[in-house]
Structure 1
């Protein structure tokens, strides 16, 4: 279950990524059989989540100015929340996989 402070912290970190830009690395040719590498997939997921948060901000500003409906804001915020929760779930799975790899005997 998400709390408002957790969501606010996730939102703030996504805003920081959006302002500072994503870290760049040399272009890769992709993985096996022309598949994109994990880093580029993760970068796209971060950018999509940041765009979702920006859309929610835009909708909230439109309601405050009287140019949009509250339903649109609720929908945009719900989409943003779902994107953040998905991103957090992926992060947790990556961390769990890393920890499992580190436990493997050499």
Structure 2
């Protein structure tokens, strides 16, 4: 089933995005980069790229159905994957904005 494999892939790709990994401080900027720990901006960049890839896949599948080379089930699956990726990205964005607002409310 394509939906369960997508869910498993999404889960595997977001393992590094957990709160524990985001809150962990590297020993230093150079040490973190050399240790292979990605920074927050690279994680967000990867999430954006994955979302864009899901959208492109949906577009390709839609064009394939229009040309008669593909099945409608493939289009529905690709569009559902794209929708799930966008919803996840929006949820992450909302959490980042909420965290920023919370930091701004802290007394100096």
Could you tell me which of 69, 73, 82 is aligned with 1:71?
73
What is the CA–CA distance in structure 2 between the aligned matches of 1:30 and 1:48, rounded to whole Å?
A: 27
Is residue 30–residue 36 contact of structure 1 (8 Å, CA) maintained in 2? no
What's the counterpart of residue 32 of structure 2? Answer: 31
Paired residues, what number?
79
CA offset digits 1:36-68 (Å, max 9, x no partner): 100000000000000000000000000000000
What's the counterpart of residue 12 of structure 1? Answer: none
Structure 1: which 5+ residue stretches go unaligned? 1-27
Indicate whether 1:92 and 2:94 are aligned: yes
TM-score (norm 2): 0.69
Structure 2: which 5+ residue stretches go unaligned? 1-28
TM-score (norm 1): 0.70
Question: Which aligned runs of 4 or more in structure 1 are off by greater than 4 angstroms?
Answer: none
Closer, same or farther: CA 29–44 of 1 in aligned 2, 3 Å: farther
Q: What RMSD in Å do the two structures reach over aligned CA positions?
A: 1.7
What is the CA–CA distance in structure 2 between the aligned matches of 1:30 and 1:52, rounded to whole Å?
A: 33
